Structure 1
Amino acid sequence: MLLTWVRRLEICVGLAHALSYIHYDESRDFSVIHRRISSGTVLLNDGWEPKLCEFEDSMKIKASQRHHSFHTNRVIGVIGYGDPTYLETNRVSHKSDIYSFGIVMFELLCGRESIIDSDTNKYLAPLASTHYREKRLDEIIDWDLWKQMDSQSFNIFAETAYDCLNEEQSQRPNIDEIVSRLEKALDYQNAVTLFFLFHLYIFV
């Protein structure tokens, strides 16, 4: 079933809130790095609300250490979603989850899986990043989705997804900034939808 752009935005906002909760909630003295963020670890209930699952390989750290990175003996992750810095150095942080979340965002934006075995451009991350830099993202977005997007909503969403894939972990936005950006993107899209419905009602 093809999800509308508004629905995709709502799913991303919900998932961002879930990540914000596990990364840092003021009521707790600990924080969690998920390490396996992917489209496969996000479940949707009957109301299309996202539920983050599969915490078996997550790391629990002190809340005061949430801005630190940690050396691991074994890299945990899902192929196609892994943070390159983590893969190269064995050092994981909350920004590793942010990278993986960026891949999920591009999957929802482009209507493509993170890996397409039959495609010349097998991995979505470099494909999406290159098209974003060259201002050609529309070429890899499903046309039906593209027609639904408000330009301001699209620009905010695409820039955020791209920023999540920054090679430098420290340059990736934190989850609270992502929540704020995505909520703004959703507000822009909802405003356009309401405007359209209002004028449709008047002229029918």
Structure 2
Amino acid sequence: MSQRNNLEHLKFQHSDLKIKLTDIMSATDNFSATNHIGGSETILVVEHASNGYLNDYLFNIKEKPFLTWAKRLKICLDIAHALKYLHHEMENQKTVINCDIRSGTISLDENWRARIVDFGFSVFLPPNLDGDALHLNCILGHECYIDPEYDETGKLKRESDVYSFGVVLFKILCGRVDNDPTYIKESDIGLAFVVRRCFYDETPMEMNQMIDPLIKDECANGYSLDIFMKVAYQCLAKNQEQRPNMEVIIKELEKALSFQEEHVQCLETDQVVDEFGKSLLRHENPTLKENAVVNLCWDNSELVFTPNTEYVINISVGFK
């Protein structure tokens, strides 16, 4: 097994240094290539993460707004689209392997759109490289997220990012840190090992118990969760060739989101019917014909009743 780099020494040590964008633009003549800050150092300017980082919302739930299941799925899709771009859609057939996909490197903007913001371990994969793989003498990344085949052989591929993304997917699903003591007591790699064991041993009840209880009530129909867990598990395959590419992952995540949005819409429809039914019963003594067919047309208009009058009401629910 290749020896890992010491992350504490590799990562840039810094305090909370903040420089106004206007000051940077002024110092660089609006980012002119002929003006530089300092010597040969490179500065990466990224959009301010006004809603912080994904990590914060999974574990500091008392201090942060709750992320619904639908919102979590949209965040997963944003990350997946970013990885698809890095892996397949850059100019001149370039490929970037991030090597550090984890919830702590995913920022959230004011509209809850997710972005990959840390490229400290990233490497370029040259075009037309034999086998689309790099062979490195050191292992980059954080232990619980490292592709096991890359860890064992030093072979770095796009699928190494896919594995890390799979860990993030299950982290979002379970709402626990990847190195939670519950997981670490089984294996040093934490969450990924426990997930693979649950699927291999076919223990769905145990896997179900790992799901964040805050989202279980939202996913009562199960279809969205099933699709999500299936593709997330495929990302955690031990062998690189068995993992799906980002295009396949995106399609499955879109399916999961579609099922969840349909489920939420059905719940909202049921709630509208229930609220109008209660409102009807509270009205001033309306009387209905016995065995009347009751439907309600909801078009945001006010229903007016005359007391002591018999009504046959047709109710059909729709949204404009």
TM range (shorter): over 0.9
- Asked whether the equivalents of residues 125 and 132 of structure 2 are also in contact (C-alpha less than 8 Å), the reply is no
User: Which residue of 2 is the match for residue 46 of structure 1?
Assistant: 110
Return the alpha-carbon distance in structure 2 between the equivalents of residues 90 and 152 of structure 1.
37
Could you state the TM-score of these two structures normalised by the residue count of structure 2? 0.60
Return the alpha-carbon distance in structure 1 between the equivalents of residues 131 and 270 of structure 2.
48
**If each structure's helix is expressed as a fraction of its own residues, which one has the higher value?**
1
Q: Which moved more, 1:67-76 or 1:103-112?
A: 67-76
Could you state the TM-score of these two structures normalised by the residue count of structure 1? 0.93
User: Which residue of 2 is the match for residue 140 of structure 1?
Assistant: 210
Shift of 1:67: 5.9
- Asked whether the equivalents of residues 36 and 58 of structure 1 are also in contact (C-alpha less than 8 Å), the reply is yes
Shift of 1:26: 6.3
Return the alpha-carbon distance in structure 2 between the equivalents of residues 63 and 198 of structure 1.
52
User: Which residue of 2 is the match for residue 5 of structure 1?
Assistant: 69
Q: Which has the higher contact order (CA 8 A, sep 6+)?
A: 1
- Asked whether the equivalents of residues 31 and 66 of structure 1 are also in contact (C-alpha less than 8 Å), the reply is no
Task: Identify the match of residue 74 of structure 1 among 128, 138, 147.
Answer: 138
User: Which residue of 2 is the match for residue 20 of structure 1?
Assistant: 84
Q: Deviations over 1:87-127 (max 9, x none)?
A: 11111000000000000000001111111247634611111
The within-5 A match list for 1:1-204 is 1=61, 2-25=66-89, 27-65=91-129, 68-117=132-181, 120-121=185-186, 123-132=190-199, 133-136=202-205, 137-149=207-219, 150-204=221-275
Q: Which moved more, 1:174-183 or 1:17-26?
A: 17-26
The one-letter code matched in structure 2 to 1:111 is G
The one-letter code matched in structure 1 to 2:204 is K
Shift of 1:28: 4.1
Shift of 1:168: 1.0
Choose 1 or 2 for highest CA Rg.
Answer: 2
Aligned length: 204
Shift of 1:143: 2.1
Shift of 1:58: 0.9
Distance 1:93 1:194, change over 3 A: same
Distance 1:24 1:63, change over 3 A: farther
Return the alpha-carbon distance in structure 2 between the equivalents of residues 121 and 75 of structure 1.
23
Return the alpha-carbon distance in structure 2 between the equivalents of residues 176 and 49 of structure 1.
19
Shift of 1:131: 2.2
Return the alpha-carbon distance in structure 2 between the equivalents of residues 8 and 121 of structure 1.
27
- Asked whether the equivalents of residues 129 and 162 of structure 1 are also in contact (C-alpha less than 8 Å), the reply is yes
Q: Deviations over 1:155-177 (max 9, x none)?
A: 11001111001011000000110
Q: Deviations over 1:137-157 (max 9, x none)?
A: 111112222221141110110
Percent identity for Structure 1 against Structure 2: 33
Return the alpha-carbon distance in structure 2 between the equivalents of residues 32 and 49 of structure 1.
21
Structure 2 unaligned residues grouped into runs of 5+: 1-60, 276-320
User: Which residue of 1 is the match for residue 312 of structure 2?
Assistant: none
Q: Which moved more, 1:169-178 or 1:1-10?
A: 1-10
Distance 1:78 1:172, change over 3 A: same
Return the alpha-carbon distance in structure 2 between the equivalents of residues 139 and 130 of structure 1.
14
SS of structure 2 residue aligned to 1:55 = coil
User: Which residue of 1 is the match for residue 305 of structure 2?
Assistant: none
Shift of 1:79: 1.8
The one-letter code matched in structure 1 to 2:195 is A
